[in-house]
Amino acid sequence: MNRLNIEEVLLLKISVIIPVYNAEKHISVALDSLACQTMKQSDFEVICIDDASSDNSLNVIESFKNKILNLRIIKRDVGSGGPMTPRNQGIEASEGDYIAFLDNDDFYGEETLERFYENAVKADADVVIGKYVGVNGRNVPQSQFTKGVNLSADILSTNLVYTLAPHKLFSKRLINQLNLRFDPKAVVGEDQLFVMTAYIYAKNIAVLSDYEYYYVVKRGEENLSLKQFPANEFYHSFTLIMEELKKNAIDVLYQKKLKIAFLNRFLKASRLRSILFSKRFSRETKIDYFNASKTFFNNYISQEELSSINPEFQYIVVFCQKYTFDDLTHFHNNMNKITSKDVMAVNKDGIYSQQKYFDKQHSYDESLNVSFLSKDIINITNISLDKGQFVFEGLFTQTLLINHITQYTLIMRHREKKFEKRYNDYIVPNENQFSFKIDFKSLLLSKEIALGIWDVFIKASADDYSFERRIGNQRNFQPTLIKSKIEGLDGNVYSVEPYFTKPYDNLSFNIKVG
């Protein structure tokens, strides 16, 4: 095939940028997926940036010049050590209205580029996120794609802080406006910095769940070991993200919520905990990371915001802000000894324990949220559906709340429409038992409301603290649940079929007409 002339190239819709390094075993799969796109070949270009590969990658790419109309190859003489610089070169060379990043060992669905572009134009979106598929057991983001196609997605409600890989479509307009590039100084979180900045300034974000867009491949040769970076470089990307949030002229309350969402994501997904508590790192390295964390947390997490941090990570923030590395490790190594007798207070934010310790090496006295240490105790003793009466009984509490009076609410939640019907425990509140007897007819108000799958949840409340769980698999018996015909409040007869889901074995009801 012959390349298009320059006038035609300027009309390109999408530039696909692929950083390549020693990818001779995988790159053909990525390129095959581009050769088979339903989008016209004249509408997109593929830019492969070879980062001084020492294998046969270049020859493999060259072999696709007769299969991909606008295939461009940029050869680097010196390796950059990561995908940031090659991606930036691809951005500089790109001619498309939109830019997509594809890793050299992943691949697209056949309709990906066509669907990306159509939805980007339809929604006037600066960022388009397509549904991921994990290959060979690779974990991929899922929660963002459970609510169908969303052509005006909110960062918070759509949980976008948990999908910060760059495998998306970005408008060239936004990239040029921000002069957005991958920061070569970022040794950790370079993708997060690029994508979060795009999210913050995007006019609109589209999330597409109607097709399998991007296949993320797990390779057997991937090195899963912890890579060590200097502590003073670890927070580079994350500090810049915090500063971008400060600069952006969005609503102050939303800005705060977005900051907290990102910090919780950072604390959950980053290497920080592994480094601080792993035996694989020297004491000196751990102290360096502790001190870098002290600076970061003191700069970006106020005492007012601390309660919004996930309880599982709050103690790390508290000890970094106020105490020493030895104090942190002492609490971390002993926190599983906390029992219900150590609970000092229970409120809407969690379960609190006053932790004191004094010796020659340690000195701390702190009220800490220990909710994350409280484990569920659930035992279902009875499940039945007979003549329209649903009976559900058992025990439900948490290890740190066994001495607290608990109230229970049964929640029937429509899986698709998210309607809820709540039922209170019919017995006097006690320490840990629940019992519900429900006239199922109360759920059958109309076809518009009743039809579909309803999932069962239990909410337990102790003082102002509450916790909700999907329920059904916490049993040591197999109940006999028979499909029932029940007349609804609207006069229609409904078929109500209880079943246990796969693979989680939780209780649900499938409601159909007659």
Cα–Cα distance for residue pair 129/170, rounded to 1 Å: 9
pTM of the model as a whole: 0.87
Architecture of the domain delimited by 14-223? Alpha-Beta Complex (3.90)
Is the pLDDT at 349 greater than 90? The verdict is yes
DSSP string of 188-209, one letter each residue:
S-HHHHHHHHHHHH-S-EEEE-
Which whole number is the average pLDDT over 226-240? Answer: 86
Which whole number is the average pLDDT over 269-274? Answer: 92
Q: Using one digit for the tens of pLDDT, what is the confidence trace for 320-336?
A: 999 999 999 999 999 99
Phi/psi at 481 (5° precision): -115, 120
Q: Domain extents for the chain? A: 14-223, 228-373, 377-513
| Pairing of the two strands 343-347 and 132-135 | unpaired
pLDDT value of residue 172: 98
- Hey, is 72 helix, strand or coil? strand
Reported as a pLDDT band with limits 50, 70 and 90, residue 10 is low
Q: Using one digit for the tens of pLDDT, what is the confidence trace for 177-226?
A: 999 999 998 888 999 999 999 999 999 999 999 999 999 998 765 443 44
CATH number, span 377-513? 2.60.40.10
Cα–Cα distance for residue pair 483/461, rounded to 1 Å: 32
Within 13 A of 316's CA, how many CA atoms are on the CB side? 24
479 or 8, which is more confident: 479
Is the pLDDT at 8 greater than 60? The verdict is no
- Take residue 489 and report the two structure tokens written for it: 């409040």
Neighbours of 139 (CB within 10 A): 9
